[in-house]
Amino acid sequence: MKTVLLFLLPFLPAILAAQTDLQSGVLSWKGGQTKMIEGSTRDLSSFRVHTSTLQPGKSNHPLKAYDDVDEMVIVKEGELTVQINEASKQIGPGGLAMIIAGDRQSFRNEAGTPVVYYVLTLKSKNPVNIERGRQGGSFVKDWKDFEVKKTDKGESRPVFDQPSSQFERFDVHATSLNPGLSSHDPHRHRAEEFFILLKGDVQVQCGDSFHNAHPGDIVFQASEVLHGIKNTGTVQCAYMVVQWHNKKDD
């Protein structure tokens, strides 16, 4: 047995890397009905991101619950009515809905123009904990409902920071960054991270590579990979950041 372990030791990093098939990078906006990401990560057995378009008067499906995933919806353009269990609310661009496992959801377009939105579906490698998810609960917030904090680089909007059915801590915030500025020095951390660029043009660092990103593009940053973001446009940019943590202090 020792001989086998000694043989495998030099290859262990490659074996561990093979267990996570999503790498850091930028995915370009392709349109209103597209699968953008599907795979596993260090902490997720399944991570899916797709975009959907609802025409006026249409809905995605009747009220329906998923018992093994958390779901997040972020509106790109138009007005979306989100129903979670018995409550419903209409949200516009930048608006967000968080749906924990076990809650029923349905989306409708009650406006006069098409609505385009992102759907994030996350399933942790740890067992689902619906009771923990109910500590924070599902919610719907419009962009105008977010608290705005002025910073020396632009604005910050803390959206939520709470437990979910998949994670000890789920953190979402929005950043608005003035032209020519970086949000922070390139850095790395344990938590995986996902961005949606809502407005403006930026340059994203993923490890040793740099990528240009434009409105509608999405970014995945893997655990412990050096990363950063800089506003390369002439107007203030805005992006939504999603992080998930297996520990509250992670």
Domains contained in the chain, CATH given = 22-245 (2.60.120.10)
pLDDT in tens, the chain (250 residues): 444 333 333 433 443 344 468 999 999 998 877 899 999 999 999 999 999 999 999 999 999 999 999 999 999 999 999 999 999 999 999 999 999 999 999 999 999 999 999 999 999 999 999 999 999 899 999 999 999 999 999 999 999 999 999 999 999 999 999 999 999 999 999 999 999 999 999 999 999 999 999 999 999 999 999 999 999 999 999 999 999 998 766 6
Instruction: In whole angstroms, give the CA distance from residue 71 to residue 13.
Output: 31
Name the one residue in this structure whose structure tokens are 């608006």: 95
**Edge-to-edge strand ranges of the sheet holding 87-91:** 64-65, 104-108, 80-84, 87-91
Cα separation values, 121 from 56, 99, 142, 166, 209, Å: 24, 10, 20, 11, 27
Cα–Cα distance measured from residue 186 to residue 226, given in angstroms and rounded to the nearest whole number: 6
d(CA 236, CA 219): 19
Helix (H, G, I), strand (E, B) or coil at 217: coil
Residue type at 98 in one-letter notation: M
Query: Strand, helix or coil at 9?
Result: helix
Taken as a whole, the chain contains a residue count of: 250
Q: What is the pTM of this model?
A: 0.89
Say if residues 119 and 60 touch (Cβ distance below 8 Å): no
pLDDT number for residue 136: 87
Joined together, the tokens standing for residue 65 give 């619950």
Which residues lie below 8 Å from residue 237, measured CB to CB, with a gap of 6+? 176, 177, 197, 199, 200, 201, 202, 231
Distance of alpha carbon 189 from alpha carbon 210, whole angstroms = 18
The alpha carbon of residue 180 and the mean position of all alpha carbons in its chain are separated, in whole angstroms, by: 25
